[in-house]
Amino acid sequence: MIHTQGLTRHFRVEGRTVEAVRGLDIDVEAGELVAFLGPNGAGKSTALRMLTTLLAPTSGTATVAGRDVRADPVGVRRRIGYVGQGHGAGTDQRVRDELRTQGRCQGLGRAQARTRADELIESLELAAVADRVTERLSGGQRRRLDVAMGLIHRPRLLFLDEPSTGLDPHSRANLWDHIARLRAEHGTTIFLTTHYLDEADTVAGRVSVIDHGRVIADGTPDKLKGKVSGDLVTVATDTERAAGLAAEVARRLPTAHGVTVEGAALSLRADRGDAALPELLRALDGAGVRLLTAQVQRPTLDDVFLTLTGRSLREGAE
Ligand SMILES: Nc1ncnc2c1ncn2[C@@H]1O[C@H](COP(=O)(O)OP(=O)(O)OP(=O)(O)O)[C@@H](O)[C@H]1O
């Protein structure tokens, strides 16, 4: 459904070249839900804008929904839906009319456009504002309208650029429900960008981690998390001195590695955190270290990024 080779985009900014996307090779098959995950400035939106024909590549090739983005941009646009980061809706139409007009622009018949607009108003919870002029909507309501506009013609391939940014948890859940239904009923292929680690983890069948314009890891969330060396075990003591002593004890345990101390807290990695924790607690008790709290965390996608780059996803690309 999406195939790219060496897709690249440079920008000239104040006499220097910004390599926003550097040689992307992407293959997305029909029916997949793939998330592009990366820090601010990693190149996600630039890649999406090339795939949706809004931006010409500097080099490389891309075939989207069976059409070449350079040779047949109109063919690509006919076959896809796109929800960008900015607002897609105008300002002076009512929500219901905006959706119907969008449906008509996408080639739906009058009756079909009405039915589809009503369905989306219902499922994205826009009923209370359906007769309101779009410029009077709140940020979250406008975002839901943007998403509805991208979905109106039930495209076989849908691009979503940070679809849930600005939505409250309830609206995010509704959005994902709607998308899950769309996939189940129509086999829609979805390619999205997100900052939300939990979202990428739970909704995406596959995650492509992007940094500095390159894909640095690609696979199912579980496969990616398997790259991180073990669970994170953290214990809090009451003083820095106690944490230092705890670290000495922990370093002697065969199951523990990556022992670090920060203030009065100690953390380490273990292949099986649930098994390492009781062992650690017994050893610390034996050494007379007083503990306040203890916890085990499974690796997250942020740990994957940290392992690959030495930075947290929240720190940005620069
Ligand atoms: N039109 C442009 N002109 C100049 N530089 C640009 C332009 N668009 C993007 N860039 C630069 O390209 C790099 C990638 O930007 P892009 O918006 O693709 O990142 P992103 O991963 O989508 O970030 P975010 O998560 O913040 O949306 C950044 O360094 C950005 O400043």
Query: Which of the four pLDDT bands, split at 50, 70 and 90, describes residue 90?
Result: low
- Region 243-266: what's the mean pLDDT? 93
- Region 69-81: what's the mean pLDDT? 91
Residue 174 has pLDDT above 60, yes or no: yes
Q: What spacing in Å lies between the alpha carbon of 111 and ligand 1's midpoint?
A: 40
Q: Are 124 and 112 within one domain?
A: yes
Measured from CB, residues less than 6 Å from any atom of ligand 1 are 11, 13, 18, 20, 38, 40-46
Query: Which of the four pLDDT bands, split at 50, 70 and 90, describes residue 87?
Result: low
Q: Are 83 and 161 within one domain?
A: yes
Higher pLDDT among residues 148 and 63, named by residue: 63
CATH number at residue 235: 3.30.70.100
Does residue 255 lie in a domain region?
yes
Residue type at 125 in one-letter notation:
E
Q: Are 85 and 218 within one domain?
A: yes
213 CA: nearest ligand 1 atom = 14
Q: Of the ranges 188-192, 197-201, 305-309, which is most confident?
A: 188-192
Residue 316 has pLDDT above 70, yes or no: no
Does residue 317 lie in a domain region?
no
9 CA: nearest ligand 1 atom = 12
Residue closest via CA to ligand 1's atom 26 equals 40
What pLDDT sits at residue 59?
96
Q: What spacing in Å lies between the alpha carbon of 236 and ligand 1's midpoint?
A: 40
Does residue 306 lie in a domain region?
no
Domain hosting 45: range is 2-225
Q: Are 238 and 208 within one domain?
A: no
- Region 75-80: what's the mean pLDDT? 89
Query: Which of the four pLDDT bands, split at 50, 70 and 90, describes residue 315?
Result: low
What pLDDT sits at residue 317?
47
38 CA: nearest ligand 1 atom = 21
Q: Single out the residue in 225, 250, 270 at which a domain terminates.
A: 225
- pLDDT, tens digit (0-9, with 9 covering 90-100), for 37-68: 888 888 999 999 999 999 999 999 999 999 99
Return d(Cα 318, Cα 315) in angstroms, integer.
Answer: 8
- Region 287-310: what's the mean pLDDT? 88
Residue closest via CA to ligand 1's atom 30 equals 41
Residue closest via CA to ligand 1's atom 12 equals 20
Q: What spacing in Å lies between the alpha carbon of 80 and ligand 1's midpoint?
A: 22
Question: Can you tell me the ipTM of this complex?
Answer: 0.96
Asked if 313 contacts 248 with a C-beta cutoff of 8 angstroms, the reply is no
- pLDDT, tens digit (0-9, with 9 covering 90-100), for 97-147: 999 998 998 888 999 999 999 999 988 889 999 999 888 888 778 888 888
Q: What spacing in Å lies between the alpha carbon of 210 and ligand 1's midpoint?
A: 13
Residue closest via CA to ligand 1's atom 28 equals 41
Residue 95 has pLDDT above 80, yes or no: yes
Does residue 209 lie in a domain region?
yes
- The pTM of the full predicted model, rounded to 2 decimals, is 0.81
Does residue 315 lie in a domain region?
no
Q: Ligand 1 pocket: which of 10, 45, 192 to mutate (most atoms <8 Å of CB)?
A: 45
- pLDDT, tens digit (0-9, with 9 covering 90-100), for 267-297: 999 988 888 999 999 999 999 999 999 999 8
Average pLDDT, the chain: 89
Q: Are 198 and 249 within one domain?
A: no
Q: Ligand 1 pocket: which of 8, 11, 211 to mutate (most atoms <8 Å of CB)?
A: 11
Q: Are 75 and 96 within one domain?
A: yes
Q: Single out the residue in 192, 225, 258 at which a domain terminates.
A: 225
Does residue 14 lie in a domain region?
yes
Count of domains for the chain: 2
Q: Are 240 and 221 within one domain?
A: no
Residue 202 has pLDDT above 80, yes or no: yes
Does residue 303 lie in a domain region?
no
Q: Are 41 and 117 within one domain?
A: yes
Does residue 23 lie in a domain region?
yes
Q: Are 150 and 271 within one domain?
A: no
